[in-house]
Amino acid sequence: MSRRSGTRAPAAAAKTRTKKDANAPTRNGDEARRVGTRGFNRRAKAMKPKQPVQRTRTPGRGLSDFAALLPELDYGRALRRIPRAAWMCALVACLNAVCWSIVAPPFQAPDEPDHFAYVKQLADTGSLPTASQETVPEEFAALQALHVYQVRQRPQTHTISSQQDQENLERVLASTNRASGSHGAGVATSQPPLYYALEAIPYDFANSGSVLDRLQLMRLLSTLFAGLTAMFVFLFVREALPAAPWAWTVGGLAVALAPLLGFMSGAVNPDSLLAAVSAMTFYCFARSFRRGLSTGGAVAIGALTAVGLLTKLNFIGLIPGVLLGLIVLAIREARTSGRSAYRLLGLAVGVAFSPVILYAGINALSGHPTFGIVSTAIQTTHGSVLAQTNYIWQLFLPHLPGTVNDFPGLFTTRQLWFNGYVGLYGWLDTPFPGWVYTVALIPAAAIALLCGRSLFQGRAVLRDRVAELAVYAIIGLGLLVLLGADSFRTFPSTNAEYAQVRYLLPLFALFGAVLALAARGAGRRWGPVAGVLIVVLFLAHDLFSQLQVIARYYG
Amino acid sequence: MRAVKTALLAGLALLVIALVLTLLGSPMSVARMNRAPGQSEELVTSTNQSANYCQAHEVLPRGTSAIRIWIDAAAGPRVRVVVSSDGRPIISGERGSGWVGGSVTVPVKPLPRAVSGATVCVSFRLKDETIIVQGEHAPATTAARSGQEALSGRIWIEYLRPGTRSWASLAPEVARHMGFGRAAAGTWIVFLALALLAAVVVLASNLVLRELP
C-alpha cells in the first residue's frame, strides 16, 4: 500500500508540470526526497513529454548487435535534431579560430613546427616519425627565413617586417628541395597518429604549394575542431543542465569565444581534436546519465575513447573517469535491464581499448616496450609516492602545512593556471601587462560566486546526481594527476613543465557548464542579463587577446 | 528581453570604449639596450640557487619605466631589480613569480632623467628551478658580478619606455607588417581578419538576442 501511494505521488505531480523540465532543481529535490532517488529517477525518465527518447535497448548481443545498429542510424535526422543555437555556437567558434589562424604568425604556436613535421613525414612517406630531432630540411629553411628561432620566446623580437625579408622568404620557399620526411618530429614523435593522419588530407591537398600554403590549410582543418568543441559543449550543457534552455547558449557561446580554444584551434596542434573528442565524450556521458545507457551510447563512448587515445596521449588521464562512468551506467542500467546491461560495459570497453590492445600486441611482438612511451615514462618515474603526490597537489593547489614546498614563492593556482588561462599566447611568451591578471580576478570571482550560488540552490538535485558528478570529477582529476605526474618526471631540473593551461582544454565541457550555472545563479530575473555579460566578457577577452598577439608579433 | 538587449548594448559599448582607449595608448618601446642588434646570446651563468647579480656601467635613458632582463626560466621566480647610482638606489621594481620564457620585464617608476654609470642589480629566490642568465662574454673587469665573483660576461638588459606614437597611428605599419610571412602575403589579410571578427561579434550578438529571454 505504501508503495502504491509512493508511486502515485510523483505521477500526479508530473501531470501538473508537463511544460517544465523533469530535472528542475527545486522540484526535483523535493520529489526525490519524498519517493526516494531510485523511484524518482525511474519516473522522471518516464514522464518526459517534450523530448521523446528513442532508445535501441537491446543489450546482450554485443558486436553483432552493434553491426545491426549501424545501418539503422539516420545521420541526417540526427544532425537535424541538433538545435540551431548549437550550430551557431559551432560557427562562431570556427570563425574565431580562423581569425586566430591569421593573427598568429606561422609556427608561433606551441610545438607547431614539430606537429607540421609529423604530418609531413606521414603524408610524404606513409610512415610515422621515429626520432625526436627536428631536421626536416624544407621546414627548417622556412623557419629560418621566417626568423622563427629569433622570435620564439623573445617577446622583444617581432616577426619579419620588411619587403626584403619577405622576398628572401619567397625565394627560400621556391628554391628549397622538397625532400621527403626526416623521421624526426621533435616532441610530437611520441604522439599517436590520428590527428596527423587527418591533417595529412589538407597537407596533400596543398601539396603543390609552399610550406606556408600547407600550414594554413592544416590550420583551417583544426578550426573545424573548435566548432565541434563548442557544439558539443552546448549539447553537454543541454543534457547536464536541462532546466534553463537559455543557459545552454551562454555555456556554448562563451566556450566558442574562449581565446584559448581559438588560439589552439587556429594552429596545427592535436590539442584541438582532443578538446573536441573530450567534449563529445562528456556529452555522451551526460546523455547516458539522463536517458540511460543504450547500445548506441555504449558504442559511442567506447569509440570516442578509442579516438581520444589515438589523438593524444593526454587522453589517458581521462580513462579512469571514463571507466568509472561506464561501470556506474552499467550498474544503473542493470536495475532495469538485468545483468545483460553488463554486456554493454564489455562492448564499450572492448571498442575503447581495441587500438591499445593492437598497439601493445605489435610492440610486444617487435620487442619494443609494450605501451611505447607510456611504459618508458612509468619506468623513469622517481621519488616516493608521497613526494609525487605532494608535488601533484602543489602543482594545482597551495602547499599544505608540514609538507615540503616544491614551488616556493609561487602560488601555482593563480600564477600558473589562472594567469595562464587569462593570457599566455605564442610560445608562452606573449602575456598581458601584469595589471590585467589582477583585474581578471574580479569577473572570475563573480562567476565563481554565482556558480556556487547556483549549486547551493540546486543542492538537492546534486545529491541525486552524485554518481554522475563523481564521474565528471574523476575524469578531470585523472587529467590533472597525469599532468602533475608527467611534470614530476622532470622535476627538479625543470619545474612545472606541463603546467600549461592548454592541456586543460579536454575539460572545456565542464567549463561551459560552470558558466551556464553562473548565469543561472543570478536568478530567474537577472540570469539572462548575467548570461549576456558573461558572453560579452568572453568576447572582450578574445578580442584583446588577439590584439595582444598582434602587438607582440607585429607592433 | 529588453534587459538582455540593454545589457548587450551596454557591454558592447564598454568594449568599444576600452578598444578606443587602448588604441589611443602608446606601446612600450626599447629606449636603449646594452647589446648590438642581431647578436646571438651567450650563456653568462646558470643557477638553481637564490642569487643577486649586479652589473655596473649601465646607462638608463630618461623615462625608463620597465627594465627587461635576459634570464630564462620555465616558471620564473619573483624578481627584484634595483638600480643604483653613486651607491644610492634610484629606482627599483619587482615582478611576481610565474613568468616564463627567455626574459623578464620588471616595471619601475618612470625615471625623470637619464643616468649613466649606474649599477643594475637583479635578485631572486630559488629552490630547484634552474635560471639561465643570458648575455655576452666579457672580461672580468666589466662582467656582471655575483657578490665578489665575476660572471663570464655581461647580462643583456633593455630599458623600455612608452613610445611617442599611439597604437592608432601605428595601425598602418602594423597592418603592413601582418601581411608579411604568409601563405598569401599582403595587407588584405588584415581586412579578412577584421571581417571575421565582425562576423563573430554579429553572430554572437544575434544568438544572444534570439536565445536569451
In the DSSP assignment, the letter for residue A82 is S
Helices (H), A147-294: 148-151, 163-175, 194-205, 211-240, 245-257, 259-265, 271-291
Chain A positions touching B213 (Cβ under 8 A) are 246, 528
Amino acid at A187: V
pLDDT for A181 equals: 65
Residue A260, classified by CB atoms within 10 Å of its CB into exposed (0-12), middle (13-18) or buried (19+), is: buried
pLDDT for B96 equals: 84
pLDDT for A84 equals: 95
Residue with the three cell numbers 656601467: B57
Interchain contact A424–B (C-beta under 8 A): yes
Specify which residues A126 forms β-bridges with. Answer: none
Interchain contact B185–A (C-beta under 8 A): yes
Please indicate, yes or no, whether residues A109 and A27 belong to a single structural domain of this protein: no
- Residues B72-76 have a mean pLDDT of 82
- Angle formed at CA B77 by CA B74 and CA B81, multiple of 5 degrees: 125
Q: Is residue A71 part of a domain?
A: no
pLDDT for A134 equals: 58
- The parent domain of residue A129 ranges over 83-291+380-554
The yes-or-no verdict on residue B198 having pLDDT over 50 is yes
Asked if omega into A408 is within 30° of 0 (cis), the reply is no
CB contact under 8 A, B75 and A416: yes
- In this predicted complex, what is the ipTM? 0.87
Please indicate, yes or no, whether residues B87 and B172 belong to a single structural domain of this protein: no
Chain B positions touching A92 (Cβ under 8 A) are 200, 203-204, 207
Chain B positions touching A105 (Cβ under 8 A) are 181
Specify which residues A184 forms β-bridges with. Answer: A131
Residue with the three cell numbers 593573427: A103
CA–CA separation, A101 vs A98, rounded Å?
Answer: 5
Please indicate, yes or no, whether residues B204 and B104 belong to a single structural domain of this protein: no
Tell me the pTM. Answer: 0.86
pLDDT for A19 equals: 36
The yes-or-no verdict on residue B74 having pLDDT over 60 is yes
Q: Is residue A324 part of a domain?
A: no
Count of domains for chain B? 2
Q: Is residue A302 part of a domain?
A: no
Tell which wins on pLDDT, B37 or A164: A164
Please indicate, yes or no, whether residues A21 and A130 belong to a single structural domain of this protein: no
- The parent domain of residue B194 ranges over 2-25+165-211
Please indicate, yes or no, whether residues B59 and B143 belong to a single structural domain of this protein: yes
Task: Write the CATH number for B151.
Answer: 2.60.120
Segment-wise mean pLDDT, segments of 10 residues, chain A, 555 residues = 34 36 38 41 41 43 50 71 96 98 96 93 88 74 92 86 93 82 80 95 93 96 98 97 95 98 97 98 97 93 96 96 97 88 93 90 79 74 87 94 86 91 92 91 98 94 93 97 91 78 97 98 94 97 97 92
Please indicate, yes or no, whether residues B17 and B67 belong to a single structural domain of this protein: no
Q: Could you report the per-residue pLDDT of B121-176, keeping only the tens digit for each?
A: 999 987 767 889 999 999 999 999 998 899 999 999 999 998 889 999 999 999 99
* Cα→Cα distances A161→A128, A477, B175, B182, Å: 36, 45, 10, 12
Chain A positions touching B196 (Cβ under 8 A) are 95-96, 98-99, 102
Please indicate, yes or no, whether residues A202 and A266 belong to a single structural domain of this protein: yes
Name the residue in chain A with its Cα closest to that of B33: A156
Residue B190 dihedral angles phi and psi, to the nearest 5°: -65, -40
Please indicate, yes or no, whether residues B47 and B142 belong to a single structural domain of this protein: yes
CA–CA separation, A237 vs A205, rounded Å?
Answer: 36
Window 40-59 of B: residues touching A by CB (8 A cutoff) are 48
Q: Percent of chain B at pLDDT above 90?
A: 72
Chain A positions touching B77 (Cβ under 8 A) are 408-410
Please indicate, yes or no, whether residues B21 and B86 belong to a single structural domain of this protein: no
CA–CA separation, A464 vs A462, rounded Å?
Answer: 5
Sign of CA dihedral A321, A326, A33, A457: positive
- Angle formed at CA B73 by CA B68 and CA B76, multiple of 5 degrees: 75
Report the run of H or E that residue B137 belongs to, with start and end.
strand B115-137
Residue A59 dihedral angles phi and psi, to the nearest 5°: -70, 155
| Count of other CB atoms within 10 angstroms of residue A253 | 31
Chain A positions touching B7 (Cβ under 8 A) are 529, 532-533, 536
Starting at the edge strand found earlier in the chain, the sheet holding B157-162 runs B28-33, B157-162, B66-69, B104-107
Residue B38, classified by CB atoms within 10 Å of its CB into exposed (0-12), middle (13-18) or buried (19+), is: exposed
Going by C-beta distance under 8 Å and a sequence separation of 6 or more, which residues neighbour residue A328?
Answer: A467, A468, A470, A471
pLDDT for A11 equals: 35
For residue A376, the number of C-alpha atoms closer than 13 Å in the C-beta half-sphere is 6
CB contact under 8 A, B181 and A210: no
Please indicate, yes or no, whether residues A14 and A154 belong to a single structural domain of this protein: no
Please indicate, yes or no, whether residues A32 and A90 belong to a single structural domain of this protein: no
State the best of B197, B205, B206, B210 to mutate against chain A, taking most chain A CBs within 10 Å: B197
Cell numbers describing residue A238: 543541454
pLDDT for A57 equals: 44
Q: Is residue A30 part of a domain?
A: yes
Instruction: Pick A495's closest partner by Cβ from B99, B128, B199.
Output: B128
Count of domains for chain A? 2
